[in-house]
Structure 1
Amino acid sequence: MTSREDETLAQAAVAALTGQLALVPKPGLPDPRDLAARVTRRDHRGLRWSAKALAPGLAAMAAAARRTGEATPRLRAELGAIGRCAEHSVGLAGGGHRGALWTLGLLVSAAALDPCARGAEVTHTAKRIAAHTDRGAPRSPSRGSTVSATYGAAGARGEARAGFPHVRRALTALAGARSAGASEAEARLDALLTVMSTLQDTELLHTAGPVGLRHVQAGARGVLEAGGTATEAGRTALSALDADLHARAWSPRGSAGLLAGALFVDSLPVTTSGRPGRPGPTGSR
């Protein structure tokens, strides 16, 4: 049975995901400009709807972590089972969000396991959970794990076992952009580009190969080096990158899921952390 605290964490995670979806322009990713799914092949409205289907599974993960009280193999196995059920529910609601479910599931569980944790403390707890093997996982390799093995990329599993370094980088980018006077949307876009600039995104490796991945990483770095999205030069570079990725049909989906994880960690509710928090992921500064 889930508690109010578990439900609050789940809703905060869903809000982080829908907050990520609302950002515009997101290079190669679904956003409110493409409601008919002509470019990204993902209906933005459908993705917002199916994101809500994550809430029961995420609340159940939080409850499992709170009940177990420590990062054990048993907890990892239970989270895996819940995650597979949640993935099925999301599929019935329209699909999508597989990478975000993995990231948010571990981070929500970590936040429930250590209610006073903030920032990197949450990702460190998630690392301890992810260190265990999910013995109930399907034996057949996923596309992501196959791509990771082929190209030597960390992939989603490696990212988690390293303590979500790209979530931490996104948190640093958010704080830096905000302190420099960027709007909340600009700070979040800069955080997304920070992740894109270094992440070995298995989705991009699958569709574009190593050369395409490096092309996208260089484009993201170019926006940041131009001053970020709060500057005219940065916005011009972002527009060019956006047009380029949409023309090529390349989608950095892994970066989007990690940004959602960062937005969740960034805005853990006061009732959970016991410390002052920022406004929720759907709010603005």
Structure 2
Amino acid sequence: MAGLPGISFAAVSSLSVPELAQQALWEEVWLTPKPGLVDSANNGSHRDMNLALFQKSIAAISPWFSVFHALGLEHVERGTSELLRLIRPAGIACEQAMYQATGGVNTHKGGIFSLSLLCTAAGRLKGQGKVINTSTLCAAVGKICNGLVERELTGARRASTVGERLYQQFGLTGARGEAESGFLTVRQHVLPYWFEETDPQRRLLTALLRLMAHNPDTNLVSRGGLTGLRYVQRYAARLLKQGWTVEDMREMDANLIARNLSPGGSADLLAVSCILTGVEG
């Protein structure tokens, strides 16, 4: 299913969660202008990525969303705490498909983590005969990830990954913490305001600004430290308060590129936001 820019999720609410996940990635990558991020105008703050590479990546990882959904359905009788272990091989294979398509470039690792959890949770809920909506999906993801931060971040003696290092330095839990919370940042700062904007593209850009203003994005900290994170958070909050134009977004894009800042974690949460609003119709 090809993704097209400017499609409102109100028009695709009949899609399954795996289909919504694929559509969400297309929505996110085509959205323009996205400050510091790859879009149809430029490569943002990335020298090793462009729109064509993202398209290859999305095509490679999208078939795996149905696999995660099937795993959630298949293991419906297993304990929730077992699911992460059971889907991990598929997660690794999905990442390998991404790397093969991109020549080793990490375009969607964070997105694979979050979206695979949503698809797995949807499969489990279907197998349990439960309704699939924002509340049940987020609760299911939170249960699947219960204790994840403590196991993988708090218990790490030596930081072997960027996520572990940032947790030890700054206490940032990143994508793990967001998933364990049932995507609390999205539920608190995006979903209640989703339909305040009637134009689909402006709705998505406003959602991205809200995420940038509130998300403790480890991508930003990795590139620019806490100073870079606070710069982006304050910038986004200011645009939201004053009311933004497309030219404001282009200017923010230029400023983030000049500082080599890319809010990739917020981009991943934008895709999560699209799925959660999509299941609500």
Q: Which residue of 2 aligns with 1:130?
A: 145
- State, as a whole percentage, how many aligned pairs show the same letter: 29
Distance 1:57 1:141, change over 3 A: farther
Q: Which residue of 2 aligns with 1:77?
A: 85
1:99 aligns with 2:110: yes
Unaligned residue ranges in structure 2 (runs of 5+)? 1-14
1:205 aligns with 2:216: no
Matches within 5 A, 1:132-281: 133=148, 141-168=160-187, 169-177=189-197, 182-227=198-243, 229=244, 234-268=245-279, 278=281
Single out whichever of 247-256 and 139-148 deviates more from structure 2: 139-148
Aligned residue identity for 2:185: H
1:64 aligns with 2:79: no
Distance 1:132 1:243, change over 3 A: same
Write the distance in 1 (CA, Å) between the matches of 2:62 and 2:200. Answer: 24
- Provide TM-score, normalisation by structure 2: 0.82
- Provide TM-score, normalisation by structure 1: 0.81
What RMSD in Å do the two structures reach over aligned CA positions? Answer: 2.3
Instruction: For residue 248 of structure 2, give the secondary structure of its aligned residue in structure 1.
Output: helix
Aligned residue identity for 2:65: L
Write the distance in 2 (CA, Å) between the matches of 1:246 and 1:158. Answer: 27
1:22 aligns with 2:36: no
Unaligned residue ranges in structure 1 (runs of 5+)? 1-6, 269-276, 279-285
Q: Which residue of 2 aligns with 1:40?
A: 46
Q: Is the 8 A contact 1:72 1:132 kept in 2?
A: no
Q: Which residue of 2 aligns with 1:4?
A: none
* Correspondence for 2:58 among 17, 35, 51: 51
Aligned residue identity for 1:80: R
Distance 1:222 1:147, change over 3 A: same
Q: Is the 8 A contact 1:148 1:202 kept in 2?
A: no
Q: How far apart are residue 143 of structure 1 and its match?
A: 1.1
**Deviation sequence 1:26-64 (CA, Å, 0-9, x none):** 000000012xx4853211111012112112322111111
Regions of 4+ moved over 4 Å: none
